[in-house]
Amino acid sequence: MLNKNYNADIKFCGMEGALSTWAKAGIAVLPVSYDMTTSYKPGASFGPQAIIDASRYMETYDEETGKEAYKSGIYTCEEIKETSPDPGKVIKIVEDAIGVILRARKFPVMLGGEHSITLGAVRACNKRFKDLSVLQLDAHRDLRDSFHGSKYNHACIASRVMDITGLTQVGIRSLSKEEALKRRKGLNTFFMKDMEEDDNWIEGVIDSIRAKNVYVTIDLDVFDPSIVPSVGTPEPGGMGWREVLRLLRRISEERDVVGFDVVELAPMQGNVAPDFLAARLVYKFLNYIF
């Protein structure tokens, strides 16, 4: 359950006037510091607080949209800190927490943490909204049925989402042979190699999402590591800042975004630029949605 009276000093977009009580907020930010199934570089458990800390130094006016999303009220929930080796346990905790946010008619924004936590948010949104699909921005296909003995490993998140609803993947450029051969009804994958040659790839993404309601999960390794090196597995040849923003703006215009997450930031000492990018990404997306 969420602590609705939580009152820590560091809040997302924590400038004076940008904070809100639980009762008044239209947006609820949920930090989840879980990082137990990461395959390569650990550190994603420090991602949520790095994003929140960087967000305090953003301008709250968005020059692109002319909006100030903080005026909808942003409440930062108490951080979920779970060290269980069983990702299924934290996924259930996340599902319950996002369920509380949705039942209170607030918009959920989850900050990770590793990608396995997305399943909890998708489960909660699927209970709340009919006709739901998921948009995944990611370098990896994450379609293994099991990895390191667990069906809930971060490398299996797309398969677990597909057990629930349809999925469109964007920015993919790293996968196993097993994943390359996998075909499932309701699965649409846009590989970077194809996107680079197709000026209309965004239209293709929008057309592939037939559902009215969309949950968006953003693994920060979708970005090229020249922009965001602070991830568990930095894959070369990724998306740029403007490309990602164009897609997020279009999906906000064409579908009802019911929640989103930003995951897999593993902060690097001496390089805060990726932390700030992640914070700006969250706030930009909120301005598109609100």
* 64 close to 283: Cβ distance less than 8 angstroms: no
CATH class of segment(s) 27-289: alpha beta
Tell me the pLDDT tens digit for each residue of 2-58.
877 666 667 999 865 556 889 999 999 999 999 976 766 778 999 999 999 999 999
C-alpha to C-alpha distance for 264 and 48, rounded to whole angstroms: 9
Domain ranges in the chain? Answer: 27-289
C-alpha to C-alpha distance for 283 and 278, rounded to whole angstroms: 9
DSSP strands (E only) in the chain: 27-32, 74-76, 107-112, 132-137, 166-172, 187-191, 213-219, 256-263
C-alpha to C-alpha distance for 290 and 194, rounded to whole angstroms: 31
139 alpha carbon, distance to own chain's centre: 13
The pTM score is 0.95
Tell me the pLDDT tens digit for each residue of 209-264.
999 999 999 999 999 999 999 999 999 999 999 999 999 999 999 999 999 999 99
